[in-house]
Every structure is written in C-alpha cells, then in structure tokens.
Structure 1
Amino acid sequence: MAFSNDSITIDIEPWFIPIDIFKISCAIIAIILALIFLHIILFEKSCHTVPMLLVSNSYLAQLIYAIDVLLIALFTLQNDRKQNQFGYSFCILGVIMAFNNDSIAIDIEPWFIPIDIFKISCAIIAIILALIFLYIILFEKSCHTVPMLLVSNSYLAQLIYAIDVLLIALFTLQNDRKQNQFGYSFCILGGSISYAITMIQMYSYLLQAVYRYITVTYPSRLFWQSVRLQTILIIITWICGTIYIIVLIFTDQIIYLIDDQICQMPLRLSFLTIFNAFYIYMFPLGAIMVIYFKMVLYVREMGKRATPANTLIRAQRELRMIHRIVTLVLFLMILGVPYVLFILMSFFNSAPKYHFRIAYIFIVISLVFMMIALFQIAEPLKASIMKKLRRRPIDIVPTFT
C-alpha cells in the first residue's frame, strides 16, 4: 500500500500462512455454494414461495459475509507473507485508517467539491435504478428467461460498480472538504474493484451478443442456449474478475494518487497498461463487433434463401438486439475517450495534473446512461414496467335501486 506510514516487521508463526490459505479456500467454497443455491431459487418456479424468499435472504446474508471473510483473509495473507504490520484497505469500512502518519494539507481547487457531489449524485441514481430493475427481474415471471439472466448479470455488475464509485467519491469528498492528503479505508480495494468490475461489465455484454448469435445460427444446439451453460459462463467471468482483483492487490499495482485523492493504477507506458486496454476493452469490443457483422451477413443470406417467415423475423429481432448492444458499448467507449487520451498523454509524461478527477466525471455519467441503455435491450423488463405504468385504477360507480 502506498501510504506514507512505515510498516513494521513482525514475527510470523509457521502456521499463519497455511491457516490464511485455509480461510480463503473455505470462503471461496461458501461463495460458490451461495451463488449456486441463489441461482436455483431465482430460476426454479417451485422455489418462488414466501418461505424460500426468507431462505434466500439468509443465503444472501451468508454470501456477503463470505465475501467479507475472503477479503479480510486475503489482506491478512498479504501482510503475513510480507511480514508487515499495518492496516489494510477495507479494514474499517467508512472510517479513516488509523495510521501513525500525519495528514498533509493540500491545495483544493474550487471545482473539486461540486464535482465530488455530482459523482455521488450520479452513483446514487445508478444504484436506485439497478435495484429497481433487479427487483422487477427477480419477481416478474416474464423476466425469468436466459436473455434476462444475462441482462441481470450486467445490472448486477453495474450495481457493484456504482456502489464502488459512491464509496470512492464519498471519501474523496471528505478529503477535499478537510483539505487532507492521506489514504482512506477501501482505497486500494476500491481501486482494484473498479478495474475488475469494468472487465466483468464488458464481458457481460459479450455474453449477451454471443447468446443471441447462437440462438439464430445454431438453433438446434439447445445446450449452448441453456441456463446451465450461461450460468457457468457468468460464474467464470466473475471468477476471472476476482482473480484480477487479487493480482492487482498482491502486485501493488494500485497506489494512492495524492492529486486525485483516489487509488488507481498510475498512467504510464507499461505492459500492464497495454494489457488492461486489450483485456478489459479491446478484446470484448472487437468480439462484439465481429459477432454483429457476422450476424448482419447471416440475416442477409437468410433473406436471399427460402426461409420461413417466423425464423427470419426472429433473426431480425435478435440482430436489432445485438445492434443495440453495439450502440451501448460504442457510447461507453466514447465516454471513455478522455481516459484513453490521458493514457496516451502519459506515455509522453504530459497528462493533466488532475486527469483521474476529469476522467471520472465521464465514468459516472456512463453509469446512469448504461442503466437506461440496458433497459432498452431488456424487452420483458420494459414491457413489465410499461404495463404497470399504463395500469389505470377502476372507478366503481355506486348503483341505486
């Protein structure tokens, strides 16, 4: 961790690291089991009862607790491995880390606090929208389909990202308001989560595009379209994201940036910077574009052949959905242009002083936009909400005899 306090070397017993690994293993097993059971409760109609709702609440609490234990065990392992004694990110959530270093006053620009408040507002709006949409998907039977499972995965990633942005913005506002310079709890972890969740978000759109392409080009491959396979793919993306968080933390890639009051990977010409751009953005975006163009060619070929009308209409509908996904991702890329420019400028040591503060303005705008754009892709969700909005109360007129 890149705080200015000095770490203290401590004695490590031989059994510390094996116990840490055991705790991590148990926590991972608990997380996997909780996700499996919650998935079954969510999509098995026989489980849609009040008692199972209460059981799912218990599973959700256990899932969050297991994630918390996993994070604590990971940082304990990191300290034991390096024989260091200092507080770690996420140690005291919501409280400033009690390090021995003194905070240093820094210059605060007049636009810092208004921008912090704007980021907090956008994050709160995104969280509210995500919770509403996920609630409807959970309890509306018409939304219990494979495409909506993939959409709900995107909403879940957006929800976690919005919460992460909210916590980061709150602590940035606190430091800006007090004109302090020191790291805060959740800093290193929050920065790592932002990279991992962005990756999961991009690959969730890729999963949606792949599924819609398969349903048209390989309609007889039912296993490829099954809930089981799509769930496995979703779990794999989240496992990759979790591993990515661990790698970023254990390799000390995320540091506290004083000017921006945020923990991020410093912008510089390095292998990891280029790898991030390819792994998080370029590969999923390129794959989605390839799927879209292949889908366009396939639908055109179907139009030239003697194809049943229902099959052609379905293919055209799926093509429109992929087109919306492409539009969504491209707009996300447009909002990320300032961040890309700052990366390129950093290669020549000419990035603006407050580049992350500026880039995060566009990121929080994209949070709200993505919530609304996903709504346009989720036809059952849109139909359910419009049905509720159009519902009119029935006026009962008394009759006299």
Structure 2
Amino acid sequence: MVSPRPAVSALPAYRPGRNPADLAREIGVPRAVKLASNEVAFPPLPAVVAAISQVAGETNRYPDNAAGVLVGALAQRYGVDVAQVATGCGAVTLLQQVAQAYVEPGTSLAYAWRSFEMYPLLAQVAGAGSRQVPLVAGTDGGTADTHDLDGLLAAVDDSTRVLLVCNPNNPTGTAVRRAELSAFLDAVPDHVLVVLDEAYREFVTDPDVPDGVELMRGRPNVAVLRTFSKAWGLAGLRVGYLLAEDPGVAEAVRKTHVPFSVSMVAQAAAVAALASEEEVRARVAEVTAERDRLTAELRRRGQAVADSQANFVWLPLGERTAEVAAALESRAVITRPFAGEGLRVTVGTPEEDDLFLAAFDEVAAGVPAGR
C-alpha cells in the first residue's frame, strides 16, 4: 500500500468558510449570512467584468506564464523593477513558494501565533522547524492580540531562514507601528528573509501603521506579500504578488512557481482592478466606516474589541468561542471561530452586520464581557 510522507499524513485539513447556501438548507431558512472569509461584499468591479468577458474567448490558450502585463503594472504602481515582482495563485501559494525556496529540513520558519493558520502548515510540509511566538496584549489589561517583535527576534537562531510578519494580523486585526517595525527589521540578521504579509494593507487607516513597501526599500532581506483577493474583490480568481528589494528573492520565488497557475482570466482581472484604484479606494472607505460602526456596536455591548486595521473584527471570547459560533450558525450567521481563543467576524454590508448583531444579542446572555 502506498503512503504519503508522515508530515503530510499529519496535516490538518484547511478549513474554509462554510457555504451559506448549505447552512440555509440545513437549518431551513431562506438565507444565511457569511461573515467568515474576509471577502468584500461588493460585486466585481465593472472594469473587471469587462476584462473577463474580453479574454473569455481566448481561454483555449495557455496564459502568459510570466504574467508580463500584470507584473509591469505592479512594477509601475510601486516604483520597482519588474525583476523585483513575483506573482502567484493567491498569496497563500506565494507563501508556499517562499517556503519551497528558502526552508528545508534542519532550518526553521518563525512567526507570531495566533496568526494566519497556513504558517505552521508551510513549515510542516517542508519538513522544517516551526517557531511560534505568542502574541502579547496590545493594550494594558487586554488580551493577547498583537505581535511581540522582541520575542520574534529572540526566536531567531542559526536555523532560521524566514520570519513571517502578518501586518495587520489575521485573525486579530491588530497592527504594529512604524518605529517598532523599522527597528525590528534593522535588527533581523541578514541571513533571514522577512516576509511582511500585508493581505489587508488597503484597509489600514492608522497613519502610524507603515506601508511595508516603503520599509522594504534599502533592506535586501525584506519582501512584501499582497493579494487581490480582499480589497480588490478577486477572491474567486486567485492572484497575489510578492515584491522584493533584492531581485534574487523574487527570482527564487518565481523558480518555485507552478507553471500557468495564474490564469489568463485572473491576470486580465487584476490589471483591470489596478486601473480602477479610485473606485476600489471608495469601496474600502465604506468598509472601514462600517468596521468602525461594528466595533462601536460590539463595544457598546461590553465586548473588548481591539482597533482593527483589517476588514474584520476580533472578539476574544476564550472558552465560549465555539459555543457562540455554533449559536450564531443556528441563527443563520457564519463567523470564523478559533476554538478557545476568539471569533473573527468579517465586516459585511450594514444589513449583514445588523443581522449578526441581532443574532449576537440573542446569545450574548451567556457570553462574558470582554476582558
């Protein structure tokens, strides 16, 4: 009998957000609300729909493996050379490419925890070590929700090859500020690649949360990872990109790229989205305004919601998390629980968020106020 590698056998299955149509059928309601996957609620941009229609008749051909037009547009937008850009089938695949390029048995990845749930899986698949540095409280008396950059530095040793910094952090929504992140990057040894995972950068409203691309400049061991899945509304098409100060880093990531994995449709849609940046900014402004309203409503209900810089909010419910999430699902609202820790709630439309708040009110009697 054939068997996979032990490391693969031990992998937990990735758990995507539940399909709302399936839940609605299960509990016998016309509609369920999904606030679990950090998607934007807006329909695709008009220019994206037009671009998809235009290339649909060409999909009998392979896409441009180098994604030349998209890479050129990204290079122009960020003021970098095309050699500093790598594209991939979503930011998750680019993370996998980074792991394939830089870690192996005997080396290690380091990252904060809790953070993006794919990080430990990257190390496990590569057969590398995994150094998890617990989050710390971002406010006096608060729950652990913020990167401990000093702890991350202390975790670096001769085996460390990659440091992953999710900023803003998924799932807590918190972000580290410019001065501390700059000092951290200056202190990281030259042999360690720092990947600033900025999937939610477009939703940042705090001016003291730095743009990783600016911090990348002049630091050859720093790269920035971003995605079109969130603010740009292309979650269903899967396209992300990495920018590296050292073109050699981008080249190494491109070498582990699965050929043709960024489809023709995804490339055309991403280029069209970049050309629609003004409209995207307007949509993001609506999301962040709704985020502030949702945060205020939850705080009014006694919940300790940290200031989020992403398109979701974090409820530190501790041991009640799974129970609350199940109770919300029974009321046709899907959120993302992290058992024993907290609940991540995507910012939806005002109507969707009001449905969530109403459902939360029904179960809140058993939910302790946030610490």
Higher relative contact order (CA 8 A, sep 6+): 2
TM-score by length of 2: 0.25
TM-score by length of 1: 0.24
Judging by fraction of residues, say which structure has more strand. Answer: 2
